[in-house]
Amino acid sequence: MEDALAKLTPEQRQMIMAKAQQEANQQVMQEMMELMNKTCFDKCVGTTGDRLDSKEQACLASCQDRYFDARAAVQEAIQKRQSSGM
């Protein structure tokens, strides 16, 4: 494996690393979405009926919005930390 990597140009290695990072980011996003769905569903949805009522729908929307807001804040903090050299 190391021999194969050694034969790659720096541009090829960079492309492979970028692809690996993209796939890792997609996996993290998928896991976050699954956790968000489970957490919000458990928090907002009752056991009555087979449809969501308006309160449950509003709760789910609000819960998901909070998840996305928190993710955006974390990502912004990470980018600031990385750009400041920490």
3-state SS assignment for residue 84: coil
2 pLDDT higher than 70 = no
Where do we find the tokens 């979405």? Answer: 33
Which pLDDT value is given to residue 58?
95
Number of C-beta neighbours around residue 65 at 10 A = 11
Taking the alpha carbons at both ends of the chain, their separation in whole angstroms is: 32
Number of C-beta neighbours around residue 40 at 10 A = 19
User: What is the tens place of the pLDDT at every residue in 15-69?
Assistant: 998 999 999 989 988 998 999 999 999 999 987 778 889 999 999 999 999 999 9
Distance CA 28, CA 34 (A): 10
